[in-house]
């Protein structure tokens, strides 16, 4: 091989290598960030691209596909000092690769920390009950709070979702004890109200019974008075009918005494007429 041919092959091989080094084929779904002499030069799009070897350098190959960031669990304190555990998931997309590369050292770590701090700030301004029941409101505020910040890094926030919001273990125990105490309180109140209503009904019953007894006593007294008046008019000054009626009552009382469980022996006077006359004499005095 002649020196001229050798030199020709050498330069041909060198040119082929340089061309190979200068050709960059970017796959679909990626962008290549090119730096020229230590400074950002351009972004290579998917397809065939040419760069200058040894001058241009591909320093990053960010994806253009959506990226899913899983935000880990963290303890958050609510406005009423309750401890809850929450996490989230974010969907982002790099729209300006050069900003994502030069704007922040690690955009994924930065977004995760930004979401966590923003979430703590949002939940810290609301009470426990609102935090557990207002997931959509928290998500909206979270999206508004981080969308503008990550836009400066050339990243678009597609969506963010709150995966879970739950009280901590100690908080759950406290809530269970509170619920049990509330149930016991309601049961006590219900029992007390029932006893009060029963007492009122019982008192009303006694009052009605007393009123009826009083009415019956008055009626009976009136009836007795009327009966006495009728008997008095019928008897007049005659002693025998009065003695007969009084004797009848006397004998009836003796019979009732004889029927009593406590009565052993009942002795009737031999001269009932004289006994009745004595009673009438005492009544007349």
CATH of 67-167, one of 2.60.40.180, 2.30.30.140, 3.30.70.380, 3.30.479.30: 3.30.479.30
Q: Could you please report the per-residue DSSP string of 34-45?
A: EEETTEEEEEEP
Q: How far is the C-alpha of 92 from the C-alpha of 159, rounded, in Å? A: 7
Local confidence pLDDT in tens for the 285 residues of the chain: 677 777 777 777 777 777 777 888 999 999 999 999 889 999 999 999 988 888 989 999 999 999 999 999 898 888 888 888 899 999 999 999 999 999 888 999 999 999 999 999 999 999 888 888 888 889 999 998 898 889 999 999 999 999 888 887 766 666 667 777 777 788 788 888 888 888 888 888 888 888 887 787 778 767 766 766 665 666 555 555 555 555 666 666 666 666 666 655 555 555 555 655 555 554 444
Nearest residue to 49 (alpha-carbon basis) of 29, 77, 26, 71: 26
Other C-beta atoms closer than 10 Å to the C-beta of 165 total 19
Q: Which residues pair with 63 in a beta bridge?
A: 30
E-strand stretches of the chain? 23-26, 32-36, 39-44, 47-50, 56-60, 67-77, 83-94, 155-167
Q: How far is the C-alpha of 162 from the C-alpha of 160, rounded, in Å? A: 7
């Amino acid at each position: 091989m002649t020196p001229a041919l050798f030199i020709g092959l050498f330069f041909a091989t060198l040119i082929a290598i340089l061309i190979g080094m200068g050709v960059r084929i970017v796959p679909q779904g990626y962008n290549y960030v090119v730096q020229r002499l230590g400074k950002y030069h351009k972004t290579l799009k998917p397809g065939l691209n040419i760069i200058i070897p040894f001058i241009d350098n591909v320093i990053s190959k960010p994806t253009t596909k959506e990226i899913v960031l899983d935000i880990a669990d963290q303890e958050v304190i609510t406005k009423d000092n309750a401890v809850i555990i929450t996490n989230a998931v974010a969907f982002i997309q790099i729209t300006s690769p050069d900003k994502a590369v030069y704007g922040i050292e690690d955009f994924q770590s930065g977004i995760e920390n930004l979401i966590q701090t923003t979430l703590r700030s949002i939940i810290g301004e609301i009470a426990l009950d609102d935090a557990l029941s207002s997931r959509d409101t928290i998500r909206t505020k979270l999206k508004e709070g981080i969308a503008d910040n990550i836009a400066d890094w050339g990243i678009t926030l597609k969506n963010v979702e709150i995966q879970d919001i739950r009280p901590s273990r100690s908080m759950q125990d406290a809530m269970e004890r509170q619920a049990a105490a509330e149930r016991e309180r309601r049961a006590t109140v219900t029992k007390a109200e029932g006893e009060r209503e029963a007492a009122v009904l019982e008192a009303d019953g006694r009052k009605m019974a007393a009123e009826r007894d009083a009415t019956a006593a008055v009626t009976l007294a009136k009836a007795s008075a009327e009966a006495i008046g009728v008997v008095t008019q019928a008897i007049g000054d005659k002693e025998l009918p009065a003695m007969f009626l009084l004797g009848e009552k006397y004998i009836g009382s003796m019979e009732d005494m004889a029927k009593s469980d406590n009565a052993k022996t009942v002795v009737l006077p031999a001269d009932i007429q004289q006994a009745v006359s004595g009673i009438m004499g005492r009544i007349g005095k």
